[in-house]
Chains A and B, each alone.
Chain A
Amino acid sequence: MTTLQPPAAAEPRPAPPPAKRDRRSWTGWGFIGPFVAVFALVFLAPIVYSVYLSLYRNQLIGGNTFVGLDNYTQALKDDQFWASLGRVSLFLCVQVPIMLGIALLVALALDSGRLYGKSFFRISIFLPYAVPAVVATLMWGFMYGNQFGLVGDLNDALGTSLPDPLSADWVLASIGNIVTWEFMGYNMLIFYSALRVIPSSLYEAAEIDGAGQVRVITAIKLPAIRGALVIATIFSIIGSFQLFNEPSILRNLAKNTITTDYTPNFYTYALSFNGQQHNYSAAVAIIMGLITMVIAYVVQLRGMRKGA
C-alpha cells in the first residue's frame, strides 16, 4: 500500500522563467504528471507485463521457462478461441448496426424538432445507460427466464409460442438485445450532441436551395456528424469484442448454452482464474487486443476518408 500515494498533485511548481514568456516549458507537466504516473501504472505496466507473460510458460517440471511465441501459435490453432471470436464477430455484424441505426434514427427525429415532448424522449431513452450491466442483465434474465418471465406471460396471455430466449439458438440474440438496450440511448446522445453543433449557416443555405428534409439529412447532417458516427462505431466494436458481463451473468440461467469460452474475454478469464493458465491467457488477450486495434484503426481510416 505504500506505492499508493498519488503522485503529489500539489508539488511545488518550478518558478517560470521570469522574463521570457516561452510557454513551451515544463509547467504543463505539473498538471498532467499525476495522470501520466497513474496511467503508466494501470495501463502501460500491465501491457508490458502481459507481453512478458505471454512469452513464458509455467510448467510443473522446469518452472517458468521462456517459450518464445509458442503460446501465440497455440492460440492460433485453438478451436475454442476461434469459435468465441466467430461468435463475437457475428454479434458485432448484427447487433452494432441495429443499435447504431436505431440510435441514429432517434437522434435525427429529436433533432428534427418535429417531436412532441422532445426532452422527455431524450432523457428517457438515455436512462438505461445509468443502469449497471449487472442489473440490466439480471432484469432481462428474469424476463427471459421461465420462472417470472415475461416471455412466458406473453405466451400464456396471447396463446403464442415465442421461442425460449435462453435456448442455444436464441441466446446470442438475447444478449444482443440486452446490449442494445443498455447502449442505444448513449449512442443516441452522442449523435444528438453532434447534430446540435452543426452550424446554422449550413441549414440556411439548404433552405435557400429548397432542399427537403431527406436531402438535408443526407447532404448536411450525416456528413457533419461523421466523426461521431466513426467514434461510436469504434467504441461499439471494442465493446463487442470485450463482451463479458452479460454472458457471464446470464450464465446462471443458461449453464449449458453459455459456456465459459463463449466470448474471447470470457475465455481468457476462465483460462486465468479457473485454469491458472496465466501465460496462455495473456497471449490470447494480446491477440484479441491486436485484432481489436487493427479493426478499430481500419474503421477509423475508412470512416474518415469517405468524406475527404
Chain B
Amino acid sequence: MTSPASTASRPPRTAAGASGSAPRLRTSRKKHTPGRPRRSVLLTLLTGLVLIYTLIPLAWLLISATKTQEGMASSFGLWFGGGHFALWDNIKETFTYDDGVFTRWLLNTLMYVVIGAGGATFLAVLGGYALAKFKFPGRNAVFAVVIGAVAVPGTALAVPTFLMFSKMGLTNTPWAVIIPSLISPFGLYLMWVFATEAIPTELLEAARMDGAGEMRTFFTISLPLLAPGIVTVLLFTTVATWNNYFLPLIMLKDPDWYPLTLGLNAWNAQAATAGGQPVFNLVITGSVLTILPLIAAFLLLQKYWQSGLAAGSVKE
C-alpha cells in the first residue's frame, strides 16, 4: 500500500478508456454542473433521518460501554448515567476476564485476517491480473465457473466442507478457518476489472520487449498501478474475515481458537446457561473494541477504496 497517492483517484486511462466510450471515473463529474445545484435543507433533513437510524445503535453501544451492568439496567440507553463512568474499568475487565481470553481471541482474529484476507487478496490480485492481461487456454471457463460460484450459497458448502476438513484432520485448527477465507470471487472480479482499466497493455508489451520476465514486470510495473484496487480488495476481504461467524462456528470447538465474533457470542450466551455469570458489560465493551479497528481502517483508507469501488462499478 505504498502507492503514490496520485493513482488513488486517477487510475491511468487505457486506450479504450480514452476513446470516450468507456464511462469515466470520479473526477470527470465536476464539469457537468456549471451552476452547482442549490443545496437543499429538506433533502438534508430527510437523509438525516437515515443517518440517525444508522448511528443510533452505534451511539447506544458506545454509551453503554461506559456503564456497569447495573447502570445499564437502571439508566436510559441513549444517555450517560447509572452510576460512575465505567468505560476504563470495562476495558480493563474485558482484557483480564477469564485469564485474558479476549486477548487470545483478538490475536486469533488478527491471524485469520493477516493470513486469510492477505492470502485472499494476493490470490485475487494475481488471478485478476491474469484474467485482465493474458489470454490463456481455459480463461473463459475459469471466469464462468468463478462467477457462477458466487451464486452458490455458502450454506450449501458449509456442511460438506466441514466433513471434508474433518476427514483431513483440519477441523478445530486455524487452517479450517483460513483456507476457505483464501477465496474471494468478488475480489477476483474487482481486480479483473481494475487491472483491465489501470494497466495499459502497451506498457506490458514494452517491458517484455525490454526482456523483463513476467514476474519482474508484474512486481515492478503492474503492482504499483494496481494499488488502489488492492487496498479495496484487502479492505473488503479483511471485513469478511474479521466479521466471519458461520465458518468458525462450524469449524471450531476449542475456545482457544475462537475469533472475536465467536468469543463475544459465547460471553453473551453465558448468562443463559445454568450458573453462568452474566457479563453483558464485557460483551458490549468487547463489541466496541471489535468494531473500532475496522471503522478506523475504513475512515483512514476512504480515498483508496472509494476509487477502487468506482472503478469496479464501471463494468457491471
- Asked if A238 meets B151 with Cβ closer than 8 Å, knowing A35-B183, A142-B280, A197-B313, the reply is yes
Task: Kindly identify, within residues 89 to 143 of chain A, every residue whose CB is under 8 Å from any CB belonging to chain B.
Answer: 102, 106, 109-110, 112-117, 121, 123-136, 138-140, 142-143
Residues of B with C-beta under 8 A to A190:
309, 313
**A282 and B159 within 8 A (CB):** yes
Task: Kindly identify, within residues 158 to 207 of chain B, every residue whose CB is under 8 Å from any CB belonging to chain A.
Answer: 158-164, 168-170, 173, 175, 179-180, 182-183, 188, 205
Partner of A46 from B64, B127, B157 at Cβ < 8 Å: B157
Interface residues on A, range: 35 or more
Residues of A with C-beta under 8 A to B149:
39, 43
Partner of A13 from B41, B158, B215, B306 at Cβ < 8 Å: B215
Task: Kindly identify, within residues 194 to 248 of chain A, every residue whose CB is under 8 Å from any CB belonging to chain B.
Answer: 194, 196-200, 203-204, 207, 227-228, 231, 234, 238, 241-242, 244-245
Q: Decide if A162 is an interface residue (CB 8 Å cutoff).
A: no
Task: Kindly identify, within residues 140 to 162 of chain A, every residue whose CB is under 8 Å from any CB belonging to chain B.
Answer: 140, 142-143, 147-150, 153, 157
**B313 and A228 within 8 A (CB):** yes
- Asked if A153 meets B77 with Cβ closer than 8 Å, knowing A13-B213, A32-B126, A269-B250, the reply is yes
Q: How far is the CA of A50 from the CA of B162 in the complex (A)?
A: 11
B218 to chain A minimum Cβ distance, whole angstroms, is 7
**B291 and A109 within 8 A (CB):** no
**B26 and A153 within 8 A (CB):** no
**A30 and B160 within 8 A (CB):** no
**A203 and B32 within 8 A (CB):** yes
Residues of B with C-beta under 8 A to A289:
152-153, 155-156
Residues of A with C-beta under 8 A to B312:
193
- The interface size of chain B toward A, counting residues with CB under 8 Å, comes to 118
Residues of B with C-beta under 8 A to A47:
152, 156-157, 160
- Asked if A244 meets B291 with Cβ closer than 8 Å, knowing A148-B77, A197-B23, A252-B272, the reply is no
Q: How far is the CA of A30 from the CA of B123 in the complex (A)?
A: 11
Which of A3-11, A59-67, A69-77 sits within the interface?
A3-11
Residues of B with C-beta under 8 A to A134:
243, 245, 261-262, 264-265
Majority secondary structure of chain A interface residues (helix, strand, loop or mixed): helix
Partner of B264 from A117, A138, A244 at Cβ < 8 Å: A138
The 3 closest A-B pairs by CB, nearest first: A28-B134, A28-B136, A227-B316
Listed in ascending order, the chain B residues whose CB lies under 8 Å from chain A are 20, 23-26, 28-29, 31-33, 36-41, 43-44, 46-47, 50-51, 53-55, 57-58, 60-61, 64, 72-73, 76-78, 119, 122-124, 126-127, 129-131, 133-139, 142, 145-146, 149, 151-164, 168-170, 173, 175, 179-180, 182-183, 188, 205, 208, 213-215, 218, 239, 242-243, 245-246, 250, 260-262, 264-265, 268-269, 272, 280, 283-284, 287, 290-291, 294-295, 297-299, 302, 306, 309-310, 312-314, 316
A/B interface sample: 9 pairs, CB < 8 A: A28-B136, A49-B160, A131-B295, A132-B291, A142-B60, A148-B77, A181-B53, A203-B33, A281-B159
